[in-house]
Amino acid sequence: MVTSGKYDGNGVKMIATTLQRFFNGVYTVLKLSLFFWVLTLAGGVVLGLGPALQTVSDLYVAHHFEYQLITFAEAWRGFKQNFKLSNAWFWVVALIAGALGYNLYLGVQIKGWFWLFIDFIIIFVLLFDLSVGLSAMTLQSHYEIQWRNLLKLALLQFFHKFAQDLLLVAGLAGLLFLTWKFKAMILFFTVPLIVLWSDLVNQPWIKTIEATMADNSAGSDHADLGKRADQDK
């Protein structure tokens, strides 16, 4: 009976912890979504979408589900810092994706092996565009680097593991499909979930980058020690 009591107590505690994490996650997503739309409106929608999306990514990477630490003051500072670069990057990716999507829509209506081949090329380039765009957003939230180096890392990520790119875009497509089915998702869940998904899928590449940086740092330390030893001699 005592053992059963302990088990029941542990079970209740585990359920309570799981529920707490779940509600913390839901509240974090709702809070990030609210910030996204407020910042988007602050930028006049057209000039607000890109920096608002990047700011939500920055907030999530910085605090994850610690919703108490996510403040509008920090969001506003990030929005202003991201305004120029994120607008340029967002609209380049979005316009390319829109043009490719429209051409794909037209291409699938034409029969023939040649046009089927063209459709596959368009799908690949669309995959490339969306994957690099989302990865660049996530990497920018993790590292303070120049945009040229950011683009290089995003491009390397695309060719590092193609299955990871497919997973990233498949998740994006799934979220957009659910949003199309349940329209209210766009107001409360879609944008933060895209950010969360991108960060989750890019974690293996981020760990690879950090491991490489650690190895380079260790190599530099060894080189410095060698130089000091030679100077002592």
Please report, for residues 16, 139, 186, the alpha-carbon distance to residue 28 in angstroms, rounded to integers and kept in the order given. 18, 21, 15
At residue 46, the 3 state secondary structure works out as coil
**pTM assigned to the model:** 0.85
Please report where in the chains the tokens 């299955």 appear, as a residue: 163
What phi-psi label fits residue 64: left (phi over 0), alpha (psi between -120 and 50 degrees) or beta? left
Please check the confidence at residue 15 and state whether its pLDDT lies above 50. yes
Please report where in the chains the tokens 């380079």 appear, as a residue: 216
pLDDT at 1: 47
Give me the mean pLDDT over the 116-141 stretch.
Answer: 93
Q: What's the angle, vertex CA 201, arms to CA 198 and CA 202, rounded to 5?
A: 80
Please check the confidence at residue 155 and state whether its pLDDT lies above 60. yes
Give how far the C-alpha of residue 123 lies from the chain's centroid of Cα atoms, to the nearest Å.
21
Percent of the chain whose predicted confidence (pLDDT) is above 70: 89
